[in-house]
Copies of this chain bind each other. A is one copy, B any other.
Amino acid sequence: MKYSTRLSDSIHILVFIQQSERPTVTSADIAVSIQTNPSYVRQIMAQLKAAGLISSSQGQATPKLTKLPQETTLLEIYKAVEKDKPLLHLDTHTNPRCGIGVNIQLALADYYRQIQKDIEHSMQKITLQDIITSYLERISRMDR
């Protein structure tokens, strides 16, 4: 089972852009840091741009955050890259001729929606700035 680390990688990208002191930041630079391939980074950056979280000019490697980190919530980043994909998954391949099969998944759907709502509420309380602050604290502890 492979798990999506898309949210984690998106946050990585946003922090990388925000923390970078260099005039340009390429998808290749970020890919080295995440240890992944530049096309995956570009794909996520396109989603973050479409969601209005970063801006970038065609052909120029100068991505910028469009909002202050304290104004960007974890939920916005999640929605930008995972869309409406929930964290809990129904088994939608049950036997359609089995009454239990279909109806139990439908009954479960209501409860999963409730849990997803709680998760999103929880994500909404955490900002990109919270993560950056916690990151900077870790870095400063390392320097000591």
In chain A, positions 28-87 with a C-beta closer than 8 Å to chain B are 32-36, 74, 87
Cα-based distance from A96 to B38 in the complex (angstroms): 18
Contact B130 A111 (CB under 8 A): yes
Residues from chain B with a CB closer than 8 A to the CB of A101 are 12, 33-35
A residues adjacent to B (C-beta < 8 A): 1-5, 7-9, 11-12, 15-16, 19, 32-36, 74, 87-91, 93-95, 98-101, 103-108, 110-111, 114-115, 118-119, 121-123, 126, 130-132, 134-135, 137-139, 142
The contact sample of 25 A-B pairs, CB cut-off 8 A, is A2-B2, A4-B89, A8-B88, A8-B105, A11-B108, A12-B94, A12-B101, A12-B105, A32-B95, A33-B95, A33-B101, A34-B95, A35-B94, A35-B95, A35-B101, A74-B115, A87-B88, A103-B138, A106-B138, A107-B131, A107-B135, A114-B126, A115-B122, A118-B119, A119-B119
Q: A1-B4, A8-B90, A107-B132 are in contact. List 20 more A-B contacts (CB 8 A).
A: A3-B89, A11-B108, A12-B100, A12-B101, A16-B100, A33-B98, A34-B101, A35-B93, A35-B95, A35-B101, A74-B115, A87-B87, A87-B88, A100-B135, A103-B135, A107-B135, A110-B134, A111-B130, A111-B131, A118-B121
